[in-house]
Each structure stands twice: as C-alpha cells, then as structure tokens.
A and B are shown apart, each in its own frame.
Chain A
C-alpha cells in the first residue's frame, strides 16, 4: 500500500503539491507513482525562472521501464528545481514526499492549488485504479 500524506494535494496524474509558508508550491510525484515506475535512473527537473501553465509538462522522470512527464498543478514561475536529483534520481524512490521533491513554483493563483484533489480524493482514485 502506498503512502498518501494527508497534508498534501494531488493530481490524477500522480503529482503531489504542498503549499509552503512563503506562498510557493512544492511539487513531486507520489509514492504510488514511484512504485509504479520502479527504479528511477534520470530526472530532468526544470530550471528556475521558467514560466509554466497549469497542466503543462515541466519535468521528465525516467526509470528502467519508462519515461514519464510530470505536469505542473499550477500556473506560475519556477522558483527552483531540485538539483540533487541530477546525481541521485533514487531520492524519489527513497523519499518521494521529502528529499525527492522535483520543483518549487510561485503560483499566480492559489485557487489552482485549492482545486487539486485532497488526500482522500486521491486515495479514492488509487482504489478505483487498482480495482
């Protein structure tokens, strides 16, 4: 059973997001997503300064099985990409909600964050996918 922390928001495409105290949104992929992908071998995180739109593919996670896009849950500006993933993509496997974060975005509109799935909604989706 994969972990779904209750303080986070989610997308159906398996990204998680956390609203930080400074108003930025940290984004990564869920525990379920990292389990499904298997051992990650490469992560292409976005560079700071880039403008993104909600729903835009902004990062790529590559495992031995597949390469998948990571979508932005909000529109805004990339504040940081996780540079540690360059040398240690396995951080996403080991700690998807912590050291395995992928990028931090300054959102134009916090409503987009509020509109994401909450943990219960995401758990329901995972249950529906596996049944």
Chain B
C-alpha cells in the first residue's frame, strides 16, 4: 500500500483544475539532459515482509563481533532509558515541525541540547545539529570564511592528523565553493601537529586553522600553543572535538589565551548506536559574535503574551526560507531524533557520569596498548599522550592480520596503511568503557596467535 493520501480521482481533478495533462507534464520544464531517466541500479520495490527479511539477513552478516575499531565512530554503553524515551511518540520525529512554536516540547529539548553543547565546548551558542562530523567541519570552514571578513584568501589549514574522511567531505562540499584546504604535516615521532609548521604562514592571508583534539591518531595536540599562534597570525581557529573527551579535557573555549572561534564534531558518541555507519549527527558551536554566520537553527527562551516562559526559533532571518540562496546554509534539524537521544544521554549521565565514561576509555586504552605491545612484532608508534585510541605498528601487512582476527570474531582496528603510507603497516586501535579486561586479554591472545602462526607458515 503506498502511503500517498490522494486517490486517482483527486489527482485527475487537481490536474484538470490547473490544466495539466498528466503528473509527468508538471516536470516538463526540466531539460531532458538533466533528467535521470530510469534508475536501473535500484532494485524493484519489496514488501514490508521481504524488506524485513533482507535486513535481518544483512544484520546477521555483521555477527556479534568484539570491536576495537574507532576512527570516528565509537561503541559506548547506551543506557536503555535513552531510546525508550527518544522513541516516544512526542519525540519520534526527525524534524522540527512546521509551525515550530506549536511543538514546545521539541523546542525545549533543542534548547536544552544547545545549552549543554555550548557548556561542554565552552562556547556561547550552538545550532540544532548538522548531518555528521564531516559535514560539520565543512560547514565550520564555510562559516569561518564568512566570519573572517578581513581575510580574502579562503585558505584553511588542515593538519594531516585530522580525520581523513572529514577532510574528504570538507573538500567535496567546500572545494566547489573555492575554499583552498592546505595540509599541515604531523611530527612522525609524536603524532602531533608541530607548532613550528605555522611559522611558514607568518605574513600570509590564511582564514583559519583546524585543530582536531584528540587527533585522528588518538594523540593529544598542543592546542594552547596552536590556538595562540594561529590567532597571532590573524587566523580564526576551528576545533574538531570528541564530545566524550570534553568531560575531562579542557574545552575549546579555553584553549590558549582567547579560546577558539568555532567548535564542531561528531555527536555519535553521545548515545547513538554504531548502526553500520549512520545516521549520526554533527554539532557546531561558536562565540556570540559569530552567531549570524552560524548555519542551522537556533532556539531561544522567551515569554508569551501572558508572561509565561516558552521557546521559540530565533534569528530565522538568515535561514533558507527567508534568505533563499543567500542563507548561511541549507541545513535544518534533520538529525533531530539523534539529537534527542544525545540530549537524554547527556542529561542522564550528567557531567560526572560523562567524566567517568571518558576516564574509563583512557584507562582501557592504556591497558589495550600495554597488552598488544606485549605481543612480539607489535610496537606503539607515537609517544604523545592519547585519549581512547592509539597507533600500533605491525611487522607485516595489516590487512591479512585483520582478516585472520575477523575469523576469530574480533574487529582489530582501522588499517591506516592506505591513508598514511608513510607510517608503514599500522593499525589504529580503540577501547571504550565497553571493553573489559577479559576482552583485551582475548584480543592480545588472538593477535599473538595470528602473528605466530603466520610466522610459522
């Protein structure tokens, strides 16, 4: 049954009223060369029963693995209360509804979300979410170009140690708007972005510097030094952060002497399941002075005509339904359901609970690194301090080792070889609070076995 409310008779009546011969004729003005035509790659429609069966079969292919991969998406414990509340009918919608103010509950939730994200990142305002961490970085770069009016170059410095997928997405979105992304190298010994690399840009027009903390290798950057040097050279600073880590690390609003200008990142660690890669949500916060350049929706608290407190959309004049092609972005509140889960997650854990999660991640990752580097043929690559990921070098190609581990039900980590060939055979591993001492022992034993057997063979 198609979920379209119009009957054939109604469609005919509407077409005859406007004098169109067919529904297809309504699209006549699109030139033939721009029409997609048939979509051969898309399989024919399935019934609910068939699609349910297909999804169960696909889910079974994932199996029940022991996971040590992070690289941008993290397996955290999600208390059952979160999705029980998030999927209540009152919340169970992706969007802020049209006539948003009629849905005070949704607006209050977004207001709470924005308040918590601003607090967590040390900024003054937050939008109501973006698609994911990668698109949040792209939007942050575009926003920096709008906000930094003295800079004409549209040049953004992006360290090689920033999540490569985020860099791909940013290039895809912002590259077509003539932004130039320039790569900064990392120190091969420490895995950090050296502050000296900024010296080369002393007298040049550079719009912004991106700093990821912890960076893609799980290493902590010298964020104070980088932020201050970038500001001294007239750049804005964009922080890419893991929200869990902010419970124990200094918020970007306090980096260096003045704090950063824009903060963005992936919100998935806050109560959103891995789900084979999505949907997730991105977050973006900033200082009040840049609020008009911030993409997305903003909820304010106000009073109604009777003086009773209420919530309202604010600063809408810069949004697409009013500003059209000149809007700050076409981003709205698509990821509202994920934001709902994250808001409940943060409320339920509180600052103390989130700090416990973060500390537990650091501890388990230290244990994991100690256990795995105890295996012959494995060594740690970077000496710098880490959060909940670390890079390990193997004495042979990583792919074969990961495949052998997979047959034992272990997802051993992210193979860095193709993205970072200079590192040699290297593996990015992660342990969150969900990995027990037993899990880590099992991984270390399996890895020792795999490496030894391969040597013997």
Given A47-B149, A65-B317, A66-B317, are A42 and B292 also a contact pair (CB < 8 Å)? yes
0/1 interface trace, chain A 39-57, chain B, CB 8 Å (1 if under): 0011010010000000000
Q: Does B43 contact A (CB under 8 A)?
A: no
A44 touches B292 (CB 8 A): yes
Measured in the bound complex, the distance between the Cα atoms of B149 and A67 in whole Å is: 18
B139 to chain A, nearest CB (A): 19
Find residues 292-322 in chain B having any chain A CB closer than 8 Å to their own CB.
292, 317-318, 322
- Across the interface, which residues of A come within 8 angstroms of B323, CB to CB? 66-67
Find residues 52-86 in chain A having any chain B CB closer than 8 Å to their own CB.
62-67, 69
B318 touches A62 (CB 8 A): yes
Q: Does B326 contact A (CB under 8 A)?
A: yes
Measured in the bound complex, the distance between the Cα atoms of B323 and A65 in whole Å is: 10
B interface residues, how many (CB within 8 angstroms): 8
Q: Does B150 contact A (CB under 8 A)?
A: yes
* Among candidates A42, A47, A64, residue contacting B150 with C-beta atoms closer than 8 Å: A47
B317 touches A67 (CB 8 A): yes
A-B contact count (CB 8 A): 21
0/1 interface trace, chain B 321-351, chain A, CB 8 Å (1 if under): 0110010000000000000000000000000
Measured in the bound complex, the distance between the Cα atoms of B292 and A44 in whole Å is: 10
A63 touches B149 (CB 8 A): no
- Across the interface, which residues of A come within 8 angstroms of B326, CB to CB? 67, 69
- Across the interface, which residues of A come within 8 angstroms of B322, CB to CB? 65-67
Residue of B with least CB distance to A49? B150
Find residues 120-170 in chain B having any chain A CB closer than 8 Å to their own CB.
149-150
- Across the interface, which residues of B come within 8 angstroms of A66, CB to CB? 317, 322-323
B317 touches A64 (CB 8 A): yes
Measured in the bound complex, the distance between the Cα atoms of B355 and A90 in whole Å is: 46
Find residues 84-113 in chain A having any chain B CB closer than 8 Å to their own CB.
none
A62 touches B292 (CB 8 A): yes
A108 to chain B, nearest CB (A): 20
Residue of B with least CB distance to A61? B317
Q: Sample 21 A-B pairs with CB under 8 A, ordered by A number.
A: A41-B317, A42-B292, A44-B292, A47-B149, A47-B150, A62-B292, A62-B317, A62-B318, A63-B317, A64-B317, A65-B317, A65-B322, A66-B317, A66-B322, A66-B323, A67-B317, A67-B318, A67-B322, A67-B323, A67-B326, A69-B326
A-B pairs, top 5 by smallest CB distance, nearest first, are A67-B317, A62-B317, A67-B323, A66-B322, A66-B317
Q: A41-B317, A67-B318, A67-B323 are in contact. List 9 more A-B contacts (CB 8 A).
A: A44-B292, A47-B149, A47-B150, A65-B322, A66-B317, A66-B322, A67-B317, A67-B322, A69-B326
